[in-house]
Structure 1
Amino acid sequence: MDEITALLRERIYAQHYATGVWLKQEQLSDELGVSRTPLREALRRLEQEGLVRSEAGKGARVISGDVHTLLSAYELRAVVDGLAARLASANPSPARVREMRQLIDAQRKAIDPWNPRGYSKLNVDFHELIVHMTNNEFVIAQTSIIRMTAQVFAPVAMIEPSSALRAIEEHATIADAIEAGDGVTAEIVARRHIEKTITQLRFGAARTDSIR
């Protein structure tokens, strides 16, 4: 059952199943070569993680990438990322700090030539690393929201090199604060880092509404 859940989760993250797509149990059962019982349990777990939503009489489908859903997800991201950065600053190990720096360097290399898929993965790795640096199991349990916003919704919130460059410099500032043990600054910068995306989403939604 865990293997089925993991496989479906990774396929959603890899956009094999796009946002809004219905996951029909009969089709998935044939595709994966599994019975309906473990498949239903796997879909239930993915629903608990927020990756799919079930509708009575219709089944389950991958969470939609509409603006309202995006905003809701990023509002949680702002809190999780800010808290994680503050907690990670409490006792950052040299090895973890080096790992943060290496990920930032790799992100810069993904800019030219522009590699959006590579950058997106490195971006997820950077933020997940900070979450794991907290050593707080309850914060770590929120890791899925990072991959959900950065990977599942990627086709909706397309990344451009200019925004990636800005994000990388903010990553460097977050890393500096964590390394210095400055939890207050780390939390503020990490939270603002996500809030900029929220502002962009709201602005985009407002423009769309005004054009209608």
Structure 2
Amino acid sequence: MAISDSASSALKKISQRRSRTMTTIAAEAIEEMIKSGDLVAGDRINESVLADQLGISRGPIREACRSLEQAGLLSNQTNRGMYVREMSVDEAKELYELRGALAGLVGELIVRKASDGQVQDLSELVDRMQTVADKSDTAAYYKLNLRFHDMLVEAAGNAALAETYQRIVNQLHLLRRRGLVQEGNLLVSNKEHRAIADALNARDLEAASQAMKQHVSNGLDRLLASL
């Protein structure tokens, strides 16, 4: 029996949905590789290797690369392929300026809107971070650091802010890890996290906003010192 136009249309939509799903999986995998440091600025994206690793065709990998290029994580070099984007110092400074302004707003919103449980969870995470910072475990600290900042944005309870903030942070993954690897920076960084948590626990709007902005500013200083 011939396939009707409506059935054909439905099959096409299902195929497109599956493709989008595979593309999403591929994009998230590449993002995670950048976050973890498995892919660093200047690395070439090998579509064949990634396709084999993820067990999917190269099509979704290619689409994922295009979306990550639009997100500012990859760059397309003519006749050479996709590479992890190399960010200039000036570009990083501009992103940190914007991130600092948003971070101040995040602090204010948490004071106004977050539950006591959310604020307590942030304090407990700072305690966990202190444990790994004392051991100079950069890899473990970096993961917890990402979680801490994700929780801050979640606690702010503003979806529009979260979307903008996440786009900025994703691009800064290209550089941010470098600012933590210098000796003593883990302890200094977590001291700033403690100041943020203390201000939030006190429900001090001005102190929370200032602590957030100062932490971002200091993060930029640490990054510049590592370059």
**TM-score higher than 0.5 here?**
yes
Q: Is 1:91–1:181's contact at 8 Å kept on the other side of the alignment?
A: no
Matched residue type, 1:61:
Y
Distance in 2 (CA, whole Å) between partners of 1:56 and 1:133 is 42
2:169 corresponds to: 146
Deviation readout 1:166-192 (Å, 9 max, x if unpaired): 222221221222233322221111111
The runs of 5 or more residues in structure 2 that have no matched partner are 1-22
Corresponding residue for residue 184 of structure 2: 162
Question: Structure 1, residues 121-152: CA drift from partner, whole Å, max 9, x if none?
Answer: 11111111111111111121122533553x54
Asked whether the 8 Å contact 2:41–2:174 carries over to 1, the reply is yes
Alpha-carbon spacing, 1:3–1:201, altered in 2? closer, same or farther (3 Å): closer
SS of the equivalent of 1:156 reads helix
Matched, 1:55 2:72: no
Normalised by the length of structure 2, the TM-score is 0.78
Letter in 2 for 1:40: R
- Percent identity, please: 27
TM-score between both structures, scaled by the size of structure 1: 0.82
Instruction: Give the Cα–Cα distance (whole angstroms) in 2 for the partners of residues 30 and 107 of structure 1.
Output: 35
Match of 2:208 among 186, 189, 193: 186
Which structure features the higher share of helix residues? 2
Deviation at 1:108, TM superposition (A): 1.1
Q: Structure 1 stretches of 5 or more lacking a match?
A: 206-212
Q: What residue is the counterpart of 2:7 in the other structure? A: none
- Change over 3 Å in CA distance of 1:158–1:102 after alignment to 2: closer
**What is the distance in 2 between the residues matched to 1:113 and 1:99?**
22
Alignment of 1:171 with 2:204, yes or no, is: no
Higher RCO (Cα < 8 Å, 6 or more apart):
1
CA RMSD in angstroms comes to: 2.4
- Cα distance between partner residues in 1 of 2:133 and 2:224: 26
Q: Which amino acid aligns with 2:46?
A: K
Rg larger for: 2
**Residue in structure 1 matched with residue 4 of structure 2 by the alignment:** none
